[in-house]
Every structure is written in C-alpha cells, then in structure tokens.
C-alpha cells in the first residue's frame, strides 16, 4: 500500500467513524445499517461485529452478547468480537459468558491483549485478584 493509498483509507475511515457516531447518537439505525453495508459489505465478520454494536446501542444488550458468543463458538469472528464479548460480559456481569471466554474459548488470533482482557473480566467477576498487566489492558479496552 502506498502512502497515498494509506491516506485515502484513513480519510475514508475518519469519515465513516464520524458518520457512524452521528447516526448512533441520533438513533438513526436504519441509515447506520446501510453505512455498515457500504463500509464492510453485507456478510463479512467485521460487518457482523459492527451490527452487534448497533444491537447493543439499541438497548438489546443480552442479545448482542449472545450473538457475539455464538459467533465465537462457531469460529467466524474478528478480534473486535473478542473484545466486545469481554466488555459486554463485564458490563452485564454475565458469569456464564466469562466462564466460556476464559475456560472454553481458544482464539484463532495470536493476540495477547484480548486474552489479558478476558482474564481481567473473568477474575473480576469471580472476585479473584488481577495483576497490573490485566488492569492496564482493561483500562484501554473499556
């Protein structure tokens, strides 16, 4: 990717994030769905992760987490799914989801920060100690 291509991508992403934030604040979810289609395509894993964010923002939080967990179980997910699963698990205080993430889920990504975040969520919900690495990652991810 050339520097110009990178600049174009960053500009497109900035515009997308600005529009996405505005549509979420204004609760214009139908338009947001169309925006996601344009950015990610209709059936991509990243599109699904963003759709789960919309479900969460609409207030259907249990469903958003359940859909993400289902996707993790099925193996068709992104790092965003992992991070959202841990964040939503923590917010909803869902010990069943924390147990799944910590004890049964094995990521296909070699990505340490999401695993530390999962450990933080699991330990916090189980009233177990957390270490400084977990705490630092949790501050970034929340």
Q: Would you say residue 4 lies in a domain?
A: no
Q: Is residue 20, in this structure, part of any structural domain at all?
A: no
The domain in which residue 81 lies consists of 43-141
CA atoms within 13 A on the CB side of 4: 0
- Is residue 16, in this structure, part of any structural domain at all? no
Residue 103 lies in a domain: yes
Which tens digits make up the pLDDT trace of 72-114? 999 999 999 999 999 999 999 999 999 999 999 999 887 899 9
**Token digits for 61?**
């939080």
Q: So what's the pLDDT on residue 66?
A: 98
Q: Name the more confident of 35 and 64.
A: 64
Percent of the chain with pLDDT over 70: 99
One-character DSSP codes across 17-30: HHHHHHHHHTT-HH
In terms of phi and psi (left: phi > 0; alpha: psi -120 to 50; beta: otherwise), the region of 93 is left
CA distances for 71 relative to 37, 43, 64, 129, 132, angstroms: 19, 13, 11, 29, 30
pLDDT of res. 18: 92
Residue 18 lies in a domain: no
Instruction: Determine, yes or no, domain membership for 17.
Output: no
Q: What is the number of domains present in the chain?
A: 1
Residue 126, domain member (yes or no): yes
Residue 15 falls inside a structural domain: no
What is the pLDDT at residue 111?
85
Q: What is the pLDDT of residues 113-122, one digit of tens each?
A: 999 999 999 9
Q: 48 pLDDT exceeds 90?
A: yes
| 16: CB partners within 8 A, 6+ apart | 35, 39
pLDDT at 1: 66
pLDDT at 91: 98
Q: Average pLDDT, stretch 14-25?
A: 89
Category of 80 on φ-ψ map: left (φ > 0), alpha (ψ -120 to 50) or beta: alpha
């Amino acid at each position: 990717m050339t520097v110009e291509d990178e600049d174009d991508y960053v500009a497109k992403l900035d515009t997308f994030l600005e529009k996405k934030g505005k549509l979420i604040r204004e609760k214009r979810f139908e338009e947001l769905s169309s925006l996601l289609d344009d950015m990610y395509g209709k059936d991509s894993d990243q599109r699904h992760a963003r759709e789960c964010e919309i479900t969460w923002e609409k207030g259907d939080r249990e469903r958003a987490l359940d859909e993400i967990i289902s996707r993790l179980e099925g193996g068709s997910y992104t790092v965003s799914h992992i991070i959202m699963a841990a964040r939503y698990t923590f917010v909803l205080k869902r010990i069943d989801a924390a147990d799944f993430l910590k004890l049964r889920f094995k990521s296909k990504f070699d990505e340490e920060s999401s695993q530390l975040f999962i450990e933080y969520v699991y330990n916090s919900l189980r009233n177990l100690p957390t270490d400084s690495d977990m705490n630092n990652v949790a501050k970034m991810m929340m």
